[in-house]
């Protein structure tokens, strides 16, 4: 009887800890890998917004705010597609 109770508590503890680990891994990604420049806003509601294609565009948005622009370390540029009919080396 006591052994069954201990096993139930142990099983419950394993399920709860597994749920906590799964929930903590579900945070949204901070940096969008599709854009090369991010706006990092500071303050109590600070955030990182990666939707800028140029540093100048981001700096314009940061003007007058507690923010700075930074290069996105996770940006993955898309390789240009070969032109149609272009010859490939053999």
The pLDDT tens digits for 5-26 are 666 767 666 665 655 444 444 4
Sign of CA dihedral 5, 6, 7, 10: positive
Asked if the structure places residue 10 within a domain, the reply is no
Asked if the structure places residue 65 within a domain, the reply is yes
Structural domain for 50, as ranges: 29-74
Asked if the structure places residue 57 within a domain, the reply is yes
- Sheet holding 37-41: strands in order across? 47-52, 37-41, 67-71
Asked if the structure places residue 17 within a domain, the reply is no
Contact criterion met (CB below 8 Å) for 67 and 39: yes
Q: How many domains does the chain have?
A: 1
Asked if the structure places residue 2 within a domain, the reply is no
Asked if the structure places residue 53 within a domain, the reply is yes
The pTM assigned to this predicted structure is 0.56
Residue with more model confidence, 6 or 39:
39
Rounded CA-CA distance 60/4 in Å is 65
């Amino acid at each position: 009887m006591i052994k069954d109770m201990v096993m139930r508590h142990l099983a419950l503890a394993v399920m709860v800890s597994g749920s906590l680990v799964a929930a903590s891994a579900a945070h949204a990604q901070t940096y969008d890998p599709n854009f090369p420049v991010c706006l990092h806003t500071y303050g109590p509601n600070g955030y990182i917004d990666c939707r800028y294609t140029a540093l100048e565009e981001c700096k314009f948005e940061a003007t007058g705010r507690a923010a700075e622009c930074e290069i996105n370390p996770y940006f993955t540029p898309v390789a240009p597609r070969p032109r149609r009919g272009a010859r490939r080396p053999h």
